[in-house]
Amino acid sequence: MTLRVLVVEDDPEIRALIQSTLSVEGFDVQTAVSVSEATALLCHSLPDILLLDLGLPDGNGATLVQKVRKHHALPILVVSARHQEAQKIELLDAGADDYLTKPFSVAELLARIRVALRHRGTTVAAAVTVHELDDLQVDLTLHTVVSRGRELHLTPTEFKLLARLVRSAGRVVTHRQLLTDVWGAEFTEHTHYLRLYMGQLRSKIEIDPAEPRHLLTETGVGYRLAVS
């Protein structure tokens, strides 16, 4: 099955690079240079994945994310420049799946697309309940966490936090999403909870908590559980 990608990007060089890369990988690539052109294409037919630049000539991607998310579960990857940090977080909270910061490598782009597609696929089929990478095995059904062959004892909150990351393994989860899902909607400003519990989790799971290989920090945005 050929997967269809809609690339919304006004920079001709980046657009051409993404288009040729994804074509070589076997994707059917459509492109749009503005919010209005993308909206017209999306009304006509729906791609399997949407790759969305934040800064577009006739507006930003936020309007598109909201429109698409109202009706569809397709993966949305946001492509942003470094100075667009605040807007990027807003879009992730609004329902975008992940983001790439310019400049990004072709390998990174393909990896993010694979993770986003896999995640959406498994969400429809069955929820992700098992995570395994190197020395770490997490089973959400059995409620077990095994690290370097030993079963770890986690507090209920530590387990909830890890479980939330397992369900989005490989994708960034924003601070707001984590705080809402683990502690509740009234705790979205309490980022110190997150820092505290992430520190505890790392000290139990990571060989070197200062150089985490599983629980990765996305500076200013959130956290990501590493996948192979």
Between residue 10 and residue 29, which ones bind Ca ion under the rule CB under 5 A?
10
How many residues bind Ca ion (CB under 5 A)? The answer is 3
Report, in Å, the least distance between residue 54 CB and Ca ion: 7
The window from 46-54, 64-72, 82-90, 166-174 that contacts Ca ion (CB under 5 A) reads 46-54
DSSP β-ladder status, 4-8 and 28-32: parallel
- The answer to the question of residue 53 lying near Ca ion (CB under 5 A) is yes
Task: Give the list of residues 6+ apart from residue 164 with CB closer than 8 angstroms, or none.
Answer: 173, 177, 178, 181, 182
- The answer to the question of residue 158 lying near Ca ion (CB under 5 A) is no
Q: Which CB, 14 or 146, lies closer to Ca ion?
A: 14
The window from 48-56, 66-74, 108-116, 123-131 that contacts Ca ion (CB under 5 A) reads 48-56
How far apart (Å, rounded) are the C-alpha atoms in residues 95 and 210?
31
Per the CB < 8 A criterion, the answer to whether 32 and 54 are in contact is: no
What residue number has its CB nearest to Ca ion? 55
How far apart (Å, rounded) are the C-alpha atoms in residues 96 and 90?
9
Q: Which CB, 8 or 145, lies closer to Ca ion?
A: 8
Q: Which CB, 55 or 95, lies closer to Ca ion?
A: 55
Per-residue 3-state assignment (H helix, E strand, C coil) for 160-193: HHHHHHHHCCCCEEEHHHHHHHHCCHHHCCCHHH
Q: Which CB, 55 or 212, lies closer to Ca ion?
A: 55
Backbone angles phi, psi at 153, to 5 degrees: -100, 115
Report, in Å, the least distance between residue 26 CB and Ca ion: 26
Q: Which CB, 59 or 184, lies closer to Ca ion?
A: 59
- The answer to the question of residue 95 lying near Ca ion (CB under 5 A) is no
- The answer to the question of residue 37 lying near Ca ion (CB under 5 A) is no
The window from 6-14, 83-91, 134-142, 153-161 that contacts Ca ion (CB under 5 A) reads 6-14
Report, in Å, the least distance between residue 83 CB and Ca ion: 12
How far apart (Å, rounded) are the C-alpha atoms in residues 175 and 190?
9
Task: Give the list of residues 6+ apart from residue 210 with CB closer than 8 angstroms, or none.
Answer: none
Identify the H or E element spanning 91: helix 85-94
Give the interface with Ca ion as residue ranges (CB under 5 A). 10, 53, 55
